[in-house]
Amino acid sequence: MFSINTLGIDDAGVGPVVYAWIGIAFMGLLNFGVSFALALVVALRARDVPRGERRTLPGAVIRRFFRRPFEFFYPPKDPPKDPTAPPPAAHH
């Protein structure tokens, strides 16, 4: 990318610019994927999830990501309610 600033797109060509942007996007996705995988492994160990469930969970997470990718980046509008939580107190 620095050479493009020096030479300009006309001298460097469009191909190297496209390859540079594809490389940057790939590195970002790779960084995100590795960070997510490491956090998932730590969380599974912290919760003492059985090995059988550990093996099926990554596949389920990947399927969920492709079905509803925005849930991984934006919080849900209505958070799920805890069934064990006491009902809210009424204020009069």
**High-pLDDT (> 90) share of the chain, %:** 24
CB-CB contact of 20 with 4 (8 Å): yes
Q: What is the per-residue pLDDT for 67? A: 94
**2 or 38: which leads in pLDDT:** 38
**83 or 22: which leads in pLDDT:** 22
Instruction: Give the CA radius of gyration of the chain.
Output: 22
How confident is the model over 5-37, as pLDDT tens digits? 676 666 667 787 788 889 999 999 999 999 988
Where residue 44 falls among pLDDT bands split at 50, 70, 90? Answer: confident
Instruction: Identify the sign of the CA torsion 31, 58, 74, 38.
Output: negative
